[in-house]
Chain A
Amino acid sequence: MSDKKILSRDKRRYLLPSERELGAETHSYLPELCDQLRTKKITRRDFLRQAALLGMTAGVAYATADKLIGGALVPSVQAATPKPGGTLRVSMRIQQVTDPASFDWTEKSNVARFLVEHLTRTKADNVTVPYLAEKWEATDDLKNWVFHLRKDVTWSNGDKFTSADVAHTVNRWLDPKTGSSNLGLFGAMVETVKGPDGKPMKRGIANAVEVIDDHTIKFNLKQAALAMPENFYNYPTAIVHRGFGKDYEADLSKNPIGTGPMKLEAFAVGERAILKKAREWWAGPFHLDEIHYFDHGEDTNAWIAALASQQVDMVFRLPNNLIDAAEALPFVDLHPVTTAQTAVMRFRISEAPFDNLKLRQAVVACMDHQEILDKAFQGRGQIAENHHVCPIHPEYAALPPLTRDIEKAKALLAEAGHGDGITLEIANGDTEGPWMTDACAIFKNQAAPAGITININKMPANQYWEVWDKAPWGYTAWTHRPLGTMVLGLAYRKGVPWNEVAYDNPAFDAALDDAEATLDVNERRKKMEVCQKLLQDDAIIPQPFWRSVYKAANKRVKGHKTHPTLYHQFHNVWLDG
């Protein structure tokens, strides 16, 4: 796609003033988006998300939304004036913080988040806004994205932040030697070639990253990608200095050069990470002087005990079984957030016996989603529908409700050739907590009347992550992602690294490609309906529920909002007393 498709200043003279006012300079689709909000075809949040996605700055997007639908004319009065200073103490696992590109746990990125930063930022309300990039533009076919970088950002070593840093970072992701999961995330910039040993190998496509000038960078994709701005806030996508892994060792804990407000004062894996405010921050005042992360081990009881004895002010997350205990503490506030976090009892359909569609459908027909949600997770969430698109995703399409049908399950089982019943084994690592075993146990009971005996193979969490994409049947937790297309692209497109199901359905891939190339959220919803239906019909992921996520913090912590992916955003956090 040529540069002509990018809406540039040259095109301004062809725009009507009314279109310009509605953001047509930024993207040709914005006036239509405004019209959809005005006529209430989309919600305010959908508008904000989409407008930001298309490059409208956050301030303008929020102001436009208020203007179009008559939002609050008077800005809401802040409850209290933030007090600068103080040390926020958080209980969280401290893992090695070496190369941000190879982060595989949110906890690693949380320590790094105050040192190295991202091009974009997805806020707690699920809307992605500019960050190190002050704006961006996409061609109408969503195959070329131009990001304009802020000019007022410097690295902690004094260097100016430029396109060279972004190009170096993204090229590292696309280099198979780095071993980054971003190869899967940015699939539109990746090709599969034959490696030196003849085995298939993934690597970045030629000219994927193009530096236009010191503060402008362009990404050339082989196919449309809707979620580029969202992807740039995924936890392994922090932008590192242009010398990282080239002029010096790719280890952030040893070479903590960043654009963030803090410096890494002390760091010991398994013990603590001490971050200290080091400089004026380009993004404005950062209220906290220090952030101390303490590692209290794997036992979640210890986390809440640390909060109860005020050894810490906040816990990284609050397990479901400890919510009542935290709620009983008079000096603690709960911070819940509705999310698209879930776990899927996915079948690996390349492995027997799960290569048998009728068998899969029989197992799925046994599931009573509501019962599992109520008993395993105390109803703190919403039921899912076996297609991994959540009602909070903008493009979610409502399908007819699913019901448990044992007679149907028996008939399908007989058709599958297992009329006398079958014994199956599900691997589970309780990677997100003991509720996962409870969910498996409840489903085991639900499936028994149909003649399906389920054995639960319980294993340590880390052991599960070694077999999560190999086990014939496993219960895998998936984190929240702001768009439904993102998770489907990561997990169910043919050949992507995280396709743990081994799903290979050209009709699905085509429908997903189509959805990913569609800006209009209502149109995209229609296309997603096809994807959702295909996933349901192919019965590859019995998915009991979406779970709400809870955090607990001392009442002295002010201005905190839990992020759906538990990313630590402490821009507005301050301590009262």
Chain B
Amino acid sequence: MVQLIIRRIGMMILIMLVVALLLFLINEGDPRLIARSILGPYAQDQQLDAWVIENGYDRSVIVRYFEWLGRIFAGDLGESVIYKRPVSEIFWDRLGNTGILAGVTFVIMVAIALVLGVLAGMKEGSLQDRAISVFSIVTTSIPEYASAVFLVGVFVFWLGWLPGTSSMTSGFDPLQMILPVLVLTLYGFGYIARMTRASMAEVMTTPYIRTAVLKGLPYRHIILKHALRNALIAPFTVIMLQINWLLSGVVVTEFAFGYKGFGALLLEAALRRDIFVIEACGTAAVFVAVLTQTIGDLGYTYLNPRIRFK
């Protein structure tokens, strides 16, 4: 197990270095583009050339890459072209906002998905199973931008119950969290519920459950004590994948509700070529993806003895 952990972490570091190199080459390969994005559209050629020389961008790209890596490790992410502030200031702030949105969504989404998945899987083929399955497939099939518009139409324009945006401009407001959390939950829960349902249904057909039923154990006891623990091993990886999605894949929802999160920051940076923000966000998004995958793999290995002892 220790060897596996070391191997996985080594692989993680290697992936991060390669991705960082790609990000750097794409964003800082052409020094004149950097000068243009910093000095603005009306800067004349002489100004661009002078900026490139003054800031050392006329040196080789490899030298600049290792310098950049050094700065990243030292916590210096550069200064944002759009925000005119150190990237680290905005970055942690926005990551924190997304963390709140992701955390609330994660708790609600996983709880609903597991309950519905178990309810569907324990009686495969029943009306209850079919109703839950259809509902989860439908909600997962509707993209976030569509459900966001639909829910805003109902709860903001028609009923007038909820605020239409979630920019938290006057401080944290729980009411402003409702719509984005609802959109993300509707979109995300179906996948976990379907995986849980399949896993549960499989467990329910195993001999040890049949034995427990025949022994006359209470049904609730069979589900909670015997079936559930095994049925949750398969969805574990899927749940870990959701963390990655919730941190870096919620761009659409943040965009739709004006939520000041990490996804919206990355999108704006990409649209306005804010290179140092793109580099920081890109690196962080890949780090989260690789980290959650690694934890997922290790966790799955730990939970599943068949893999652990192979």
Contact = CB atoms under 8 A, between A and B. Distances in A.
A197 B47 CA distance: 11
Contact of A179 (B43, B264, B265): B43
Interface stretch (A267-275, A384-392, A479-487, A505-513): A267-275
Interface residues of A, number: 49
B82 A306 contact: no
Interface string A162-184: 00000000000000110111010
A302 B47 contact: no
Interface stretch (B107-115, B121-129, B266-274, B285-293): B266-274
B271 A270 contact: no
A462 B260 contact: no
A272 B36 CA distance: 26
A420 interface: no
B165 A295 contact: no
A572 interface: no
B169 A302 contact: no
Contact of A295 (B36, B149, B167): B167
B181 to A, nearest CB: 16
B152 interface: yes
Contact of B272 (A102, A296, A462, A497): A462
Contact of A309 (B41, B163, B255, B265): B163
B151 to A, nearest CB: 10
B47 to A, nearest CB: 6
Given A271-B169, A295-B258, A98 B84 contact: yes
Interface in B152-183: 152, 156-157, 160, 162-165, 167, 169
A251 to B, nearest CB: 8
B257 interface: yes
Q: How large is the interface on B (under 10, 10 to 19, 20 to 34, 35 or more residues)?
A: 35 or more
Contacts of A378: none
B49 interface: yes
A305 interface: yes
A104 B42 contact: yes
Centre residue among A179, A199, A201, A301 by max chain B CB count within 10 A = A301
Contact of A306 (B49, B258, B268): B258
A401 interface: no
A95 interface: yes
Contacts of B268: 270, 297-298
B208 interface: no
Interface string A288-325: 00001011111101101111110100000000000001
B255 A298 contact: yes
Contact of B149 (A195, A199, A301): A301
B44 interface: yes
Given A104-B42, A199-B45, A297-B255, A309 B82 contact: no
A394 B157 CA distance: 42
B60 interface: no
A306 B169 CA distance: 11
B163 A311 contact: yes
A239 B71 CA distance: 40
Centre residue among A180, A196, A294, A308 by max chain B CB count within 10 A = A308
Interface in B15-63: 36, 39-47, 49
A558 interface: no
A292 to B, nearest CB: 8
A256 B147 CA distance: 42
Given A309-B160, A309-B164, A462-B272, A95 B82 contact: yes
A148 to B, nearest CB: 30
Contacts of A253: 84
Contacts of A463: 271, 273
Contacts of A497: 42
Nearest to B264: A297
Contacts of A269: 82-85
A179 B40 contact: yes
The interface residues of chain A, by DSSP majority, are classed as loop
B167 A294 contact: yes
Contact of B83 (A96, A104, A177, A180): A96
A197 B257 CA distance: 49
A179 B43 CA distance: 5
B256 A179 contact: no
Contacts of B83: 96, 269-270
Contacts of A295: 167, 258
Centre residue among A183, A304, A329 by max chain B CB count within 10 A = A304
A75 interface: no
Contacts, number: 124
A460 B272 CA distance: 9
A20 interface: no
Nearest to B258: A296
Interface string B239-275: 0000000000000001111101000110110111100
Given A302-B256, A309-B164, A325 B157 contact: yes
Contacts of A271: 167, 169, 260
Centre residue among B46, B149, B270 by max chain A CB count within 10 A = B46
Contact of B41 (A104, A251, A301): A104
Given A270-B82, A302-B256, A179 B47 contact: yes
Contacts of B257: 302, 305
Contacts of B156: 305, 308-309
Nearest to B155: A309
A179 B42 contact: yes
Contacts of A296: 165, 167, 258
Given A296-B165, A298-B255, A309-B165, A179 B44 contact: yes
A96 B42 contact: no
A176 B47 contact: yes
A301 B256 CA distance: 7
A348 B21 CA distance: 37
A271 B83 CA distance: 10
Contacts of A294: 167, 169
B82 A462 contact: no
A177 B47 CA distance: 7
Contact of A195 (B46, B148, B254, B264): B46
A252 to B, nearest CB: 11
Contacts of B45: 197, 199
Contacts of B162: 309
A536 B258 CA distance: 43
B204 to A, nearest CB: 44
A461 interface: yes
A302 B42 CA distance: 31
A393 interface: no
Given A179-B42, A271-B169, A329-B157, A311 B47 contact: no
A535 to B, nearest CB: 25
B157 A176 contact: no
Nearest to B161: A309
Contacts of B47: 176-177, 179
A201 B46 contact: yes
Centre residue among A104, A272, A305, A465 by max chain B CB count within 10 A = A305
Given A270-B260, A462-B271, A311 B165 contact: yes
A202 interface: yes
A70 to B, nearest CB: 48
Contacts of B254: 297
Interchain residue pairs A-B with the least CB separation, the first 8: A305-B164, A296-B258, A309-B164, A302-B258, A297-B258, A269-B83, A309-B163, A306-B165
7 contacts: A96-B84, A102-B42, A302-B164, A309-B160, A325-B157, A460-B271, A462-B271
Interface of A: 95-96, 98, 102, 104, 176-177, 179-181, 183, 195-197, 199, 201-202, 251, 253, 269-272, 292, 294-299, 301-302, 304-309, 311, 325, 328-329, 460-463, 465-466, 497
Given A297-B255, A308-B164, 13 more contacts: A179-B40, A181-B42, A195-B44, A269-B83, A292-B169, A295-B167, A296-B165, A297-B258, A298-B267, A302-B255, A305-B257, A311-B163, A497-B42
